[in-house]
A and B are shown apart, each in its own frame.
Chain A
Amino acid sequence: MKEGLRQSMALLHTWTGLLLGWLLFAMFATGTSAYFQDEITRWMQPEITGSADPVASAEGAVRFLQRTAPDAVSWYISPPNSRSATTQVYWQPGDGKKPARRGETSAVLDQSGKEVSTRETRGGFFLYRFHFDLHYMPVIWARYLVGVAAMFMLVAILSGIITHKKIFTDFFMLRFGKGQRSWLDAHNVTAVIALPFHLMITFTGLVTLAVLYMPWGIAANYAQTSTYQEAVFGKTEEVARSGQPAPLAALGPVMQSASAHWGGKRVGYLRVTNPGDTTAMISVTRAPEGAIGSRGEEVTFNGVTGKPVGQSMAKGAALATESVMIGLHAGRFAEYGLRWLYFLSGLGGTIMVGSGLVLWTVKRRTKLPDPSRPHFGFRLVEKLNIATIAGFPAGIAAYFLANRLLPLDLAERADHEINSLFLTWLAVFVWALVRPSARAWPEMLGLVAVLFAAVPLVNAFTTARGLPASLLAGDWLFVSFDLVMLALAAGFAKGAHKATRKRVEAPRTTRRKPQEAMTA
């Protein structure tokens, strides 16, 4: 009955992969881009150049916050790191009022503590948040949906392994240009070569939001989640202000002391509670690049004397494992070499999901009773494939283009950038609906190629940091961004070319094989 197991696993693989495959494609694409979210943000804020000193920046941020929010409950300061040049601050207002807008309690500062003037954008951060929060819908539902998709992915990977045990010895056998076989090979090779990555990224992805998806392990031992959180992250009790003013300790020595405590690893961010009061405290968290674990160590200092008063407790094996799993998923610890490997693996994952989706239609086309008039389900999958595999990348390209093309003083500019992503996606979907699929494929893949190719061009015309200029200046961040855009354009152009050729050859490959089992 071994054949029965293989067939049922093949069925499971097909349907878990297909049902949420379009969402998984978008999650893979944005997740991959999120490995470079800081770099994308820097590209989308071309006004900001150079680098900044973390200590000077933190002290500049304190001057800004003392002017802006002297009576805040707490300040959060992220000084610039190896990948950014600005300081992010936000604060919890002292009057307890909810801010009307995001911008009211946060700011982006330069080294001297002045607010930077740059175009309004959410940059790479938006792509990162879309990866698990999606958009235009309540975050909590988005996260449940994303979790279901991730679990489908995990089951699809495992059932795929069981079905296709043989391909592990075959993974040098990728051949392009042979109809169904080449789609199958593209899917297999992208899946098998980066299998450790796919398994890791899917499982750890579930772990990042584990408490949301599977709260029962904690609920079994703790009547209240807050008790658990205190046990794990330490008490974060709010101490009331004493009302007696006292100057805040200088942040420079505090940061050096914390850094020395971690064997020279850098400071990630600082939290100051009750600033300007005798009860002030400064908590310093280690930078994520210091270790794989995502739960950074924390050292707490007295906010007036600057003397260390405590540190986060050592973690047991399970909490350390969880911390490492989340760290592995987000890859914040990775320096540039490994970051590129993460990015390329993610790209491979995106191709795996995309080729799997296409494979579903390719495998079924030849078995249709009448290939020229496919049934509704087949047409739906085909249209959604075009809308996703061409439409979502087109949307991302449009997001970058909007960043350069929208007027700088436009109201709600950041939101319009995001809207242009979704409008482009919608437009491709509509196009896919009204055109015959065989024509829509090359047209839309070609459009994506044109859009990606346009990004470096538009960048060169609208900023002083075009590809030739950044090459001359040795500005590798901008050079890499533009080159990745061109590489994506080339990839999609090749796809469009293949899709055009397939259409010409199509009539020859439409044979009927209704007796064959529907396994994929």
Chain B
Amino acid sequence: MAKSAANIGGNRRGIGRWNVAARIIAAIPANYLVTSLAAACLARLLAHGLSVNPAEASVTATLLSFAIFATIALFAFGLRSVTRLWLWLTVTAAICGGILWLSLSMGERL
């Protein structure tokens, strides 16, 4: 774990290629997937859990999604361990996806 952190810092011999590739994939495509799930999940939760007006709920989720995306992108390069990073992403995606699936199977979209 400490090795990967040293690698990303670049103060050993260059940068571990696989390490960086895993982080780039986490930071862009995986990040987009997780952020989309989080935004959709949040929009559902606000609209159905807190009975916010659905348009308001959707816009709140959309506005927040850019902050979420940027934060995950920073974490993708800030976290020391790539394994932990991917674990976090997978767990978040699973939770958001699960809630979204449950919510969609309970109530139709407008």
Contact = CB atoms under 8 A, between A and B. Distances in A.
A221 B62 contact: no
Given A5-B78, A211-B62, A220-B109, 13 more contacts: A1-B5, A1-B80, A8-B8, A11-B9, A151-B70, A217-B62, A219-B109, A220-B41, A221-B47, A228-B55, A317-B56, A319-B56, A518-B10
A519 B15 CA distance: 12
Interface of A: 1, 3-5, 7-9, 11-12, 151, 154-155, 158-159, 162, 203, 206-207, 210-211, 213-214, 216-223, 227-228, 231-232, 316-319, 321-322, 325, 517-519
Contacts of A11: 8-10, 15, 77
Nearest to B57: A221
10 contacts: A7-B9, A9-B74, A159-B77, A207-B63, A210-B62, A217-B39, A217-B58, A220-B58, A222-B58, A228-B110
Which of B5, B59, B65, B80 neighbours the largest number of chain A CB atoms within 10 Å of its CB?
Answer: B59
Interface of B: 5-6, 8-11, 15, 35-37, 39-44, 47, 52-63, 65-67, 69-70, 73-74, 77-78, 80, 100, 104, 108-110
Contacts of A210: 62-63, 65-66
Which of B36, B41, B74 neighbours the largest number of chain A CB atoms within 10 Å of its CB?
Answer: B74
B77 A9 contact: yes
Please report whether the interface of chain B is mostly helix, strand, loop or mixed according to DSSP: helix
A382 B43 CA distance: 45
A228 B110 CA distance: 8
B5 A216 contact: no
Contacts of B57: 217, 221, 318
Which of A217, A322, A325 neighbours the largest number of chain B CB atoms within 10 Å of its CB?
Answer: A217
B76 to A, nearest CB: 9
Contacts of B110: 221-223, 227-228, 231
B63 A322 contact: yes
A220 B61 contact: yes
Given A4-B8, A7-B9, A223-B110, A214 B66 contact: yes
B78 A7 contact: no
A214 B41 CA distance: 13
A4 B60 contact: no
A518 B10 CA distance: 7
A38 B54 CA distance: 37
Contacts of B109: 219-223
Given A220-B41, A316-B56, A517-B11, A325 B63 contact: yes
A199 B36 CA distance: 22
Contacts of A9: 74, 77-78
B63 A220 contact: no
B59 A8 contact: no
A318 B9 contact: no
A228 B44 CA distance: 14
Nearest to B47: A221
A150 to B, nearest CB: 9
Nearest to A232: B55
B77 A322 contact: no
Given A207-B63, A227-B110, A7 B56 contact: no
A13 B40 CA distance: 29
A240 B26 CA distance: 52
Contacts of B62: 210-211, 214, 217-218, 322
